[in-house]
Every structure is written in C-alpha cells, then in structure tokens.
Structure 1
Amino acid sequence: MQRLKSLAIGLVLVLSTLGWAEATETRNWDEITAKARGQTVYFNAWAGDAQTNDFITWIGTEAFRRYGVKVEQVKLKDTSEAVTRVVAEKTAGRDSGGTVDLIWINGPNFLAMRKQDLLFGPFATDLPNWRYVDTTTKRSNLIDFTVMVDGFESPWRMAQFVFIYDSTRTRLDSLPKSMAALEPWAKAHPGRLTHPNVRNFLGATFLKQALYELTPDPGVLQQPATDANFPEVTAPLWAWYDRLKPHLWRGGTDFPASGPVQEQLLGDDEIDLALSFNPAAAAVASRNGRLPDSARVYVLDNGTIGNTSFVAIPYNAAHKEGAMVVANLLLDPEVQARAQDPKTMGNFTVLDLAKLTHDQRQLFERPLDAAGLPTNAELGVPLLEPHPSWMTRIVDAWEKRYVK
C-alpha cells in the first residue's frame, strides 16, 4: 500500500499546467514478446507485506514459464525511493538503460512522474488483457487520485474501505450503514469504536470517508483543497467528529498505530468495529489466526472509497518489453483470480467479470473455506479517492484540533 508520507511528492504541482510528452507504443504484441524473451524485469515494489512479496515471486515464475522473462523484485520501504532513483537518472542524463523497469505505483507518486515526463507510454490500453479491465464501475482504473491515467499505468489490484466485525458478537443489521449513523451508534456503544492514528493511511481514510458523506457537495473533493474552500467544506466533518470523539475507545485520547493493531483490539473483544482498506481483511485474518472464523466485512449503503494499485514503466527503463509482458500477465483472469484468493493475497480484481467467459468467472467464486470474503457484487461501486491535498490538509487540521 502506498504510504502516507508519499503524499508529499508532487502536491505543489498544478494540474492545469501539465504538458506531458507521449511516445505511443506502435509495435505489435508478437514483436514485444519476442524482444522481451531473455530480459530481466526489475520490479520496484513496496515490500511491507509478505503475501504480496510471495505473489510477486510467483509472478516471476509464471513470466519465465510463459514468456522467458525473469522478474527480480526490488524491495522498497516506500515507493518514493524508486521515483527518486528515476529522477536522479534523468538529472544525470541517463535516458536509456535505467535501473527501474516496473514500479508498483499510484496517487501522488504517479502525478510526480507524469509531470516530469518520467513515464513510458501510453502502453496500458494496448496490452492484450486490457480488454478485461472494468472501465465502467471501477473508475479508479482510469482516474488515479483525480489524475487521468491515460494509459501510462496499468491496473493490477483494487483496494476499498470496509468495516470488519465479529458476526457471533454483533449482528450485521445492528451496525451503522452510514458515517452519519456511526455517531449515534458509538454513543450507544461507548468505547467500542476507534480508528488508527490519522498519520496512518487508514486513519486518514476514515476521515475522508466521513467528509465524502457529510459535505454538501462531494464533487468539490475531486479538485484541490484551498485556503478558501477548506474551512467551509470540512466544517460538517469537524462538527460530527466533535460529537463522536468522546465515545471512541479510551475516550478518544489514544488511537491504535495501524490497521493490524486495531484488528487485534477487535480480536481481543475491546472494540466491535475495525477498519480496513482490504475487502478480504476478515478472510485473511481468519486464515492467519488473527481473527475468528466468524469475522466478516461490510460496506456502507452509499459506497466506500476505493482505489487502484497500478504498475508503470519509467521512460528510461532498460527492459520495457519485459515490463509490458509482466503488466499484461498481471491482468490475466487466472492471475487476477489467484490474487483475490485469501490464501494468496486477497486483493480484489480490477477486471469486469461480465467480460469474462463462464469458466473464467467461476475462478472468482468465493472459496468454500473463506466465508469472510465478500463477493465482488457485495462491495458495490467504489467511490473515487479525493484529490490528495484533502488528505494532507485534513490530517494537519485533525492534529491541530485534537492533539494536545
């Protein structure tokens, strides 16, 4: 997952002044795969999740078996490390033979690279497996934190904000189905709700989700936050949070550091609701023994924020052909289904299941041993991420208001 500190990259850029250069890929797929054979793709990816690292290793095995392409994961603590490396190479005049072939990227890191003409493309819409991508209900496959992707990134996994609960302790029909309803629910269940510290991406998303619902015109969130509009747009959020905070776990004086810490509170019966940006969180945590088999997730009636993780190819990548082969492989229906299985990663698909054959759709059926996994239909249509500047300002404002 992209880390909150990466949001600092590129926020000063003005979207209306973007003047991006393009170098359209014109070769046919047979030419690309022939050139890719024998290449080693250096896949720069955040390495904070063991299951994802294992999946990338498996992708390397498949890429070599199918196409003769090797994959080496360059393990990052933060995506900005790879961005910085490409910037340094451009500054040094290294416009070919770069050390970064493929990057797991989204949000402000993508914006920063696009603004500086650091990406190869457009290429994504020319990949053979692009025909399966959901471009209708999963708009984040085309719009990355308010920035049009325009074929310079290829999607590979979805994330969506969900609530986790224990179905043996709490009935689904008793839980709040909107952020507005969360306040009276918390008042009736004092201490049974919390959220991660807002410096954590998940904690910030909790506030963004509330802002989406509570502000009179959520469309404004697709534009940058400014000194002029921020106070008025966020006023309903702070009024709501002022009422909510006294009823949070430990009276709202302490917050778990991360999602996993919050999950542990749920497992220890200290709270009744936990938050996640992974719809498979309950199924994965149950499989790993962190939560009971009765753990489930749900989304709010009017939808929850979702985003897409992409892969992109730097402008000076040494092995562009191999990188395109890997990007295409990540969109293969069988690969996407494997990624969605909680035994592997539990990351929901970027594909439109209606575009698949009957046999391919069957691959996405909920496994019998994963009762906590929601169906793709149950997740509904995800809401687009607000412009990154809203998160940055909300986090700063929350700390000024509530951190003593």
Structure 2
Amino acid sequence: MMLIIAGSAYAGSSEDESDNSSTNPVVRFHAWGGSAQVNSYLKWVADRVERKYGITLKHVKLADTSDAVSRVLAEKAAGNLNNGSVDLIWINGENFAAMKKNALLATGWVSDIANFALTNPSNNSAMVTDFGEPTLGMEAPWGKASMVFYYRKAHFDSFNKPVPQTLQALLQFSQQQPGRFTYPVVTDYLGISFIKYAAIALNSSNQSLFYSPVTQNALEKITPSLWTYLDALHPTMWRNGEYMVRQASQLQRLIGNGELSLAFSFTAAEIPSAVERFDLPRGVRTFAMSDGSLANVHFIGLTINSPNQAAAKMVVNFLLSPEAQAKKQRLQVWGDDTVLDTSVLSASQKSMFETQQSHPSALDKSKSTPLYAEPHASWTDALRQAWEERYGARY
C-alpha cells in the first residue's frame, strides 16, 4: 500500500519497508520534556521512523511550550520564512490560539495525512476544534486527556465515607475532613483546570457560554456560583486554605506522604506509573467525577517556516498510525488515550488495542463519565484574572 503525503510516496504497511533513497531528512519535534514516559515513547518513535522511512527525529525537550512559540514568532518577524528551527510542535489551547493569531502554522496540511481519516473527523468535532478554536488544518490530533481524581483508599476506609463523585460532594468531604484536599494556584495549568471544571459544573444552565469568546457579561453570569463554592471550600483545604501549592507535582507528593487524602491530575496514566515508582502507595485508586470531567485533545502543529515539511508530515502520519497510537495508550508506556475511532479500524488494527494491561491504581475505562470540552481559549485568562483579583492577595 502506498500513502501519498505532500507529494512524497512511501510504503506504510511493512515493518521492513524504508525510504532511504536520499540523505536522512531531520525533523525537529519541540515537545514538553518533563515526563520520562513521554520522552521514552518519543525515543521509540524516533527509532521507528528512522528504520521505516529514513527520517531522523529529534525531540527538542521543552520546559514550557511557549518558548518554542516565541522562537517561531521571532523567526517570522526576522523574515525567516523557509528555514526555521522548529518543524513540529506539541501544542493545544492557549499556545495554538497564539500561533493561529500570528499565522505561525502551516494551514490545510492535515488533510494530506492518510491516517487522519482514522480519527473520523466528520463525526468527531473534537478532532478539528482546540479550546473552542477551529483548527483549520493547522494541527493534527495526537492524544486525549481528561481530569481524574485519585485517593488513598486506606484513608477513606478509616473515614468510613464514600469517595466524593461530584463537585458538591467534594465540598462536603472537605468540610467533614478538613485539610485533606487542595488545588494549585491558578498560575499552574492544573490549578486553572480545576477552576474551569468547577465553573462549568456549577453553571449547567449556562454552559454554552463557555464555548464562545468570553465577554464581561458572560463572565458576570458565571462567576457568582463559582465564588460561592470557592469561598466555602478554601477554609477547609490543606493548611486551612492559607497556603496553596504552586505546582501540580506537589499534589502527588502530599498524597504520597499522607497529608492529603484526595487529589487530581490531567494525566490518568501518571497515577499507576507513580505507584510503580513507589512515589505513591499501593492503595491509591483513580476515578472520574460522575458529574463530568474536563477533557481536551492535544495536537501537533507544523510550523509555517519548517524546511522539512514533507518529512514532518510523514512523522505525523506515523504518530497517527494504529501501531503508534496503541503503543502510546499502554499504561506501561504512556497511557495517553488514542484519538483514533476504533470503530473504523480493521480487525487486525483493533486487536492492537485489545491487549492493554490493567493496574489496580489505574482509571477503570469501562465506566463512562460525561466529558466537558475545554472552554474557548479566551476563558482561561479571564477566569485566572478574576480569581487573582478575588483571592490573589491571599496567596
């Protein structure tokens, strides 16, 4: 089978097929480098695309994705439109909105990617929408994530209380067991994610407002219920709510040392992984709130000044292959949910996803939960600023 990508033909089915007819092209993939699992997976991808297609994939590890966005913006401002230093970039949300606004991404290229069809985009708007922004073929979906909660089972056994399954039940738990829950400040991505989740869950009759650009009128409709909830929650939190953690990683440490009983994450797979590393105890369990879970799709963008666009598209096509998506979804590898619609896969392709291993601390994916799409990107800064105006002086 021959797949055509941006005018370049390559064989995409056999393990041993390679296109080494020319000097190995180099594709620089700028992606967050703060996860050993992600880094290891991308090393596997690099080995595979070099073997299959003769492409050298370099993972440029980022501490903050905005650093790569700023680099592309500076190159464009300097007139470098054909020989940029970033080929592919792992983005979503605010960073995508910024790159789209400044015309930093190649447009319309995703339809060239043969495996993109396996995401079934015509029946799955999440594949072509990023934080309320139409992607317009500027970025290809790569994986899915959603907010999950995790807890120390032994603690709840001793409390003789059920694990809270709704936002209101979370408040009641924190009131009954003060100091056992907290969330990071809103400058942290997980902190602002909690605020967005709470705002959506508390405004069921106004949820449509979140999926258009924020307005002052919309913000004033949303925030009263949010402030009422947080005003009640904060005094019951860890250290009486007088001190809040600055980074998401601190939540895991506080669960590990027993100061917290309940925490949350946007990466379900990191919980069983942390248990295996002995950073969390064996009795930790993961679940999703029954009243909804904030969820998003993360994407890969192709920069407007990449000198290696044909090879970069070949890499993206491999990343969307059933082989690569099934590998990435394995708990022991990464645990990142696939963006492929398994209903459109062949029997042999589906079988790649049927060998996933379970873990006592992993999220039970057989249980469904409502998913809240990320609000329009403009809501993030608006909610963060409103929170800081109300609570920032305290923290």
Question: Structure 2 length normalisation: TM-score?
Answer: 0.88
- Equivalenced residue count is 380
Please point out which of 36, 42, 53 is paired with 1:67. 53
Query: 2 CA distance for matches of 1:376 and 1:319?
Result: 38
> Map of 1:69-84 to 2, 5 A cutoff?
69-84=55-70
Please report how far the alpha carbon of residue 80 of structure 1 lies from its aligned counterpart in structure 2 after TM superposition.
1.9
Q: For residue 28 of structure 2, what is the aligned residue in structure 1?
A: 42
Q: For residue 264 of structure 1, what is the aligned residue in structure 2?
A: 253
Mapped contact 2:331–2:357 kept (Cα < 8 A) = no
Q: For residue 136 of structure 2, what is the aligned residue in structure 1?
A: 150
- Deviation sequence 1:50-89 (CA, Å, 0-9, x none): 2212222221111001111111122222222222222222
Q: For residue 164 of structure 2, what is the aligned residue in structure 1?
A: 176
Mapped contact 1:162–1:278 kept (Cα < 8 A) = yes
> Map of 1:80-91 to 2, 5 A cutoff?
80-91=66-77
Moved more, 348-357 or 157-166: 348-357
Structure 2 gaps of 5+ residues are 13-17
Please point out which of 206, 213, 219 is paired with 2:201. 213
> Map of 1:6-155 to 2, 5 A cutoff?
27=7, 29-30=9-10, 38-133=24-119, 135=121, 139-155=125-141
Query: 1 CA distance for matches of 2:276 and 2:76?
Result: 45
Please report how far the alpha carbon of residue 342 of structure 1 lies from its aligned counterpart in structure 2 after TM superposition.
2.7
Query: 2 CA distance for matches of 1:389 and 1:225?
Result: 6
RMSD of aligned C-alpha atoms? 2.6
Instruction: Kindly provide the amino acid, as one letter, of the partner of residue 101 in structure 1.
Output: D
Quote the sequence identity (%): 33
- Deviation sequence 1:235-278 (CA, Å, 0-9, x none): 10001111111211111111222222111211222222111001
Query: 2 CA distance for matches of 1:306 and 1:396?
Result: 22
User: What secondary structure does 1:154 align onto?
Assistant: strand
- Deviation sequence 1:84-141 (CA, Å, 0-9, x none): 2222222222221222111111112222222232221312233121122154886432
The 3 A distance-change label for structure 1 pair 50 and 210 is same
Please report how far the alpha carbon of residue 209 of structure 1 lies from its aligned counterpart in structure 2 after TM superposition.
0.5
Query: 2 CA distance for matches of 1:247 and 1:137?
Result: 43
User: What secondary structure does 2:58 align onto?
Assistant: strand
Query: 2 CA distance for matches of 1:31 and 1:83?
Result: 33
Query: 1 CA distance for matches of 2:358 and 2:201?
Result: 35
Query: 2 CA distance for matches of 1:161 and 1:247?
Result: 22
Q: For residue 299 of structure 2, what is the aligned residue in structure 1?
A: 310
The 3 A distance-change label for structure 1 pair 114 and 375 is same
Moved more, 176-185 or 34-43: 34-43
Please report how far the alpha carbon of residue 203 of structure 1 lies from its aligned counterpart in structure 2 after TM superposition.
1.0
Instruction: Kindly provide the amino acid, as one letter, of the partner of residue 249 in structure 1.
Output: W
Instruction: Kindly provide the amino acid, as one letter, of the partner of residue 383 in structure 1.
Output: Y
The 3 A distance-change label for structure 1 pair 374 and 187 is same
Question: Structure 1 length normalisation: TM-score?
Answer: 0.86
User: What secondary structure does 2:198 align onto?
Assistant: helix
Please report how far the alpha carbon of residue 224 of structure 1 lies from its aligned counterpart in structure 2 after TM superposition.
2.2
Moved more, 150-159 or 352-361: 352-361
Query: 2 CA distance for matches of 1:49 and 1:137?
Result: 32
- Deviation sequence 1:160-201 (CA, Å, 0-9, x none): 111011234436981222212221222122221111222111
Please point out which of 215, 234, 242 is paired with 1:253. 242
Please point out which of 365, 381, 388 is paired with 2:377. 388
The 3 A distance-change label for structure 1 pair 138 and 254 is farther
Moved more, 236-245 or 378-387: 378-387
Q: For residue 338 of structure 2, what is the aligned residue in structure 1?
A: 349
Q: For residue 151 of structure 2, what is the aligned residue in structure 1?
A: 165
